């Protein structure tokens, strides 16, 4: 690898400081923009699509009844006012943020004091990461969350406390788990400031210089007051989060599987074990190597910051899930990924056999990237195939009846002109949306009695997953037994979750 | 068995696999540190052998599936 860097043509390129970062960022941008709107929206994204169509007050009310803060919806609402609500338009803010994060990442790497080669390697890892690409093509807030982490970290490194305040507020208003990063970055800011007081290699601190902490304290105070209005709403939301139906219990295996997702997102089934094994190995190696360097007194401050920002958010989420309620989920952990890339690049760049490492890694990268773009098992469900089928076979007066809100939100995006209604559940949390949110969104909830008098022909969409309530399953079963029905199609998204579309002949009022 | 119970079983299975992969990775790391970084000749043997096992088993998976 050293020979590669030293060869004449590359030496010329390396001397120009912008050439390599520009090439890598361009590759990253191309990978993020390629096939941006190729896959259909999935549930979470279609929820965004619905929210941005609501008037601002209804949107805020619907958000207050759900599990996320409002900033992402406000941003997407303003962009969709200009660009419309096609898949590409809804995903555009994430794409721009994802590309911008690459550049920001490189800047921070330089401020951290990483060597140029290490920083370029880290940038390369971030640029080609399927996980990063996936969330740059998702109409959700995760790239914004990562942007918040990067901005706040940059603010600490440059001691810009107003930027720190803004970054902290951005984190909290983007995602409820933004507090994981705020707590971590506060610890980093405290350590960095403490280091400033003591001064590099000057031994014990100067008397009374703790006043240097006051900007940090003031920044936190501003963040507190700035977040207070939404903080009150958050107390209500935590009741919804408590249901946590989409968050699995946390075990050691869950932590390891989340780690694999952070690199590759979903791996092709064929190579899952190999990729996981290599990923876990690489991460342990990177952590061990940086720990070993700290122990030797090498790059101590930088590596401490990286280890802290990689481990602390996960550790807090893990502990909170054990003693409080499940909050450990891979998506919001996107904010630890920059540190992970720096740590891995640091460890790899210190080794002799970098070419060997590249030879092992590249085929797997090609495999996962290829499957990201072309393998349907790894991609989002292609729901428009089925909604188009319904559109073609539908007759005037048909009703689309959803057993739960999951399919309602998604089908509403692809069939907005048809009569969509949702089954009124016993307990609204069973289908993931509170009554308050459903009301603000203007979702029409019906009982079976309402449905029967409404239409002759009913398309029943029954999406089931492991947390589907027994009440819902029983009601749908008895509905199917009472009226003549025809199963149109069953779409399996995995071995435990599937969607079945039925056509029911109710012969109702008309 | 309800869908929820099968889900839990599936998660437990995956957990076991993950922990095994973790132990395997630790062993591979020890192997790397001892042989590859410690001794040039055995390091080569270890790297090539490891490569054959890694990509060989991937190929075997592909042929079987």
Kindly give, in sequence order, each residue whose CB lies less than 8 Å from that of residue A15, ignoring residues fewer than 6 positions away: none
Which strand ranges, in their side-by-side order, compose the sheet holding A419-423? A445-446, A419-423, A399-402, A457-464, A498-505, A485-492
CA distance B23 to chain A (A): 9
Q: With 0-12 CB in 10 A as exposed, 13-18 as middle and 19+ as buried, what is A208?
A: exposed
Contact criterion met (CB below 8 Å) for A317 and A180? yes
Q: How does residue A496 score in pLDDT terms, banded at 50, 70 and 90?
A: confident
What's the rounded Cα separation, in Å, for the pair A387 and A482? 25
Q: What is the mean pLDDT of chain A?
A: 88
**pLDDT tens digit sequence for A465-474:** 887 888 888 8
Is the separation of the CB atoms in A401 and A423 below 8 Å?
Answer: yes
What are the b/e assignments for A460-474, b being 16+ CB within 10 Å?
Answer: bbbbbbbbbbeebee
CB-CB under 8 Å, B14 with A496: no
Chain B positions in Cβ-Cβ contact with residue A363 (cut-off 8 Å):
55
CA nearest to A256 within chain B: B18
Burial track A437-450 (b if 16+ CB lie within 10 A, e otherwise): bbebbebebbeeee
Asked whether the predicted pLDDT for residue A380 surpasses 60, the reply is yes
| Residue A345 · residue A354 · CB < 8 Å | no
Residue B36 has pLDDT above 90, yes or no: no
Q: How confident is the model at residue A66 (pLDDT cuts 50, 70, 90)?
A: confident
Phi, psi of A399 (to 5 degrees): -115, 140
Contacts of B37 in chain A (CB under 8 A): 352
| pLDDT 10s digits, B52-62 | 999 999 999 88
A459 φ, ψ (degrees, to nearest 5): -95, 115
State the angle between helix axes of A354-374 and A272-296 in degrees (0 to 180), rounded to the nearest 10.
140
Question: What is the C-alpha to C-alpha distance for residues B40 and B46, in angstroms, rounded to an integer?
Answer: 10
Q: How far is A123 from A21, CA to CA, in rounded Å?
A: 8
Beta carbons of B57 and A464 less than 8 Å apart: no
CA distance A405 to A403: 7
For the segment A343-362, the average pLDDT, to the nearest whole number, is 85
The C-alpha of A255 sits at a distance from chain B's nearest C-alpha, in angstroms, of 9
Q: Please report the pLDDT score of residue A361 as a whole number.
A: 83
pLDDT band at A3 (very low <50, low <70, confident <90, very high): very low
Task: Count other C-beta atoms under 10 Å from residue A244's C-beta.
Answer: 18
**Distance, in angstroms, between A497 CA and closest chain B CA?**
9
- By the 8 A CB rule, do A263 and A279 touch? yes
Nearest alpha-carbon partner for A138 in A245, A47, A254, A258? A47
- Is the predicted pLDDT of residue A200 greater than 70, yes or no? no
Helix (H), strand (E), coil (C) string for A62-73:
HHHCCCCCCHHH
- CB < 8 Å to A465, chain B: 3
Average pLDDT rounded to a whole number, residues A338-351: 94
Q: Which of A235, A257, A231 is nearest to A314 (CA)?
A: A257
Nearest CA in chain B to A352: B37
The token duo for A452 is 């029967």
Q: How far apart are CA A193 and CA A408, in angstroms?
A: 51
Pair of tokens at residue A66:
């759900």
> Which among B22, B55, B57 has the least Cβ separation from residue A280?
B22
A11: confidence class by pLDDT, cuts 50, 70, 90: low
Q: Is the pLDDT of residue A227 over 90?
A: yes
DSSP state of A487: E
pLDDT band at A299 (very low <50, low <70, confident <90, very high): very high
Instruction: Select the residue from B1, B2, B3, B17 to test the A interface by mutation, using most A Cβ atoms within 10 A.
Output: B3
A268 and A365 Cβ atoms separated by less than 8 Å: no
What are the b/e assignments for A7-42, b being 16+ CB within 10 Å?
eeeeeeeeeeeeebbeebbeebbebbbeebeebbbb
Say if the Cβ atoms of B18 and A281 lie within 8 Å.
no
Predicted confidence band at A510 (pLDDT cuts at 50, 70, 90)?
very low
From chain B, the residues in CB contact with A274 under 8 A are 54, 57-58, 61
Instruction: Classify residue B23 by burial, with Cβ atoms within 10 Å: 0-12, 13-18, 19+.
Output: exposed
CB-CB under 8 Å, B21 with A353: no
CB contact under 8 A, A356 and B47: yes
| Best mutation target, B8, B19, B21, B34, to test chain A (most A CBs within 10 A) | B21
| A398 vs A243: CA distance, rounded Å | 34
For residue A237, is pLDDT > 80?
no
Q: At A509, is the pLDDT very low, low, confident or very high (cuts 50, 70, 90)?
A: very low
* Secondary structure of A99-139 as H, E, C letters: HHHHHHHHHHHHHHCCCHHHHHHHHHHHHHCHHHHHHHCCC
Residue B25 distance to chain A (closest CA, Å) = 5
Å between A467 CA and nearest CA of chain B? 6
Q: How many CB pairs below 8 Å do chains A and B form together? A: 78
Interface residues of chain A, partner chain B, Cβ below 8 Å? 248-249, 251-254, 256-257, 269-271, 273-274, 276-278, 280-281, 284-285, 288, 352-353, 356, 360, 363, 464-468, 495-496
- Which residue from A minimizes the CA distance to B54? A274
- To the nearest whole Å, the CA of A381 is away from the closest chain B CA by 20
Residues in chain A within 8 Å Cβ distance of B54: 274, 278, 360
Q: Choose among A135, A493, A180, A502: nearest CA to A319.
A: A180
Tokens at residue A220, please?
């936190």
Which residue, A486, A145, A201, is CA-closest to A337? A145
Are the beta carbons of A253 and B15 separated by less than 8 Å? Answer: yes
Q: pTM for this structure?
A: 0.91
């Amino acid at each position: 690898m050293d020979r590669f860097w030293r060869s004449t043509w590359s030496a010329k390129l390396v001397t120009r400081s912008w050439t390599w970062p520009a090439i890598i960022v361009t590759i990253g941008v191309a990978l993020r923009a390629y096939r941006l709107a190729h896959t259909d929206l999935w549930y979470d994204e279609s929820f965004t699509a619905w929210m941005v169509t609501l008037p601002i007050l209804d949107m805020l009310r619907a958000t207050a009844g759900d599990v996320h803060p409002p900033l992402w919806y406000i941003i997407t609402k303003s962009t969709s006012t200009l660009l419309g609500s096609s898949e590409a338009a809804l995903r555009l803010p994430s794409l721009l943020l994802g590309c911008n994060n690459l550049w920001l990442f490189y800047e921070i790497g330089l401020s951290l004091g990483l060597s140029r080669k290490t920083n370029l390697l880290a940038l390369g890892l971030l640029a080609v990461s399927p996980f990063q690409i996936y969330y740059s093509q998702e109409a959700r807030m995760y790239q914004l969350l990562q942007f918040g982490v990067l901005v706040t970290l940059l603010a600490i490194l440059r001691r810009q406390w107003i930027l720190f305040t803004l970054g902290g507020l951005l984190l909290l208003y983007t995602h409820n788990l933004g507090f994981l990063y705020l707590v971590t970055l506060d610890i980093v800011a405290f350590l960095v400031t403490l280091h400033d007081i003591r001064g590099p290699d000057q031994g014990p601190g100067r008397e009374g210089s703790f006043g240097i902490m006051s900007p940090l304290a003031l920044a936190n105070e501003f963040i507190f007051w700035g977040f207070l209005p939404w903080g009150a709403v958050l107390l209500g939301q935590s009741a919804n989060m408590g249901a946590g139906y989409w968050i699995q219990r946390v075990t050691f295996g869950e932590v390891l599987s989340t780690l694999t997702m952070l690199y590759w997102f979903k791996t092709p089934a064929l190579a899952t074990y190999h990729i996981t094994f290599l990923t876990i190995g690489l991460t342990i190696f990177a952590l061990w190597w940086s720990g070993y360097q700290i122990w030797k007194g090498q790059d101590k401050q930088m590596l401490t910051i990286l280890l802290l920002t990689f481990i602390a958010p996960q550790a807090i989420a893990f502990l909170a899930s054990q003693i409080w309620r499940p909050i450990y989920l891979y998506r919001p952990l996107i904010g630890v990924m920059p540190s992970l890339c720096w740590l891995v690049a640091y460890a790899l760049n210190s080794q002799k056999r970098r070419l060997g490492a590249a030879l092992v890694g590249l085929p797997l990268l090609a495999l996962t990237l290829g499957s990201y773009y072309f393998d349907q098992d790894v991609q989002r469900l292609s729901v428009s195939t089925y909604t188009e089928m319904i559109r073609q076979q539908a007759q005037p007066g048909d009703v689309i009846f959803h057993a739960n809100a999951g399919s309602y939100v998604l089908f509403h995006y692809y069939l907005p002109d048809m009569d969509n209604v949702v089954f009124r559940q016993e307990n609204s949390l069973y289908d993931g949306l509170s009554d308050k949110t459903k009301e603000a969104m203007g979702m029409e909830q019906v009982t079976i009695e309402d449905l029967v008098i409404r239409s002759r022909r009913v398309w029943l969409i029954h999406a089931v997953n492991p947390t589907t309530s027994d009440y819902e399953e029983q009601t749908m079963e008895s509905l199917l037994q009472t009226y003549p029905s025809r199963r149109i199609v069953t779409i399996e998204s995995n071995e435990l979750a599937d969607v079945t579309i039925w056509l029911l002949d109710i012969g109702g009022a008309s | 068995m309800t869908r929820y119970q099968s889900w839990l079983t599936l998660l437990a299975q995956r957990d076991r696999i993950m922990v095994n992969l973790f132990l395997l990775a630790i062993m591979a790391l020890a192997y790397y540190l001892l042989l590859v970084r410690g001794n040039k000749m055995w390091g080569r043997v270890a790297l090539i052998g490891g490569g054959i096992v890694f990509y060989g088993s991937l190929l075997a998976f592909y042929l079987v599936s």
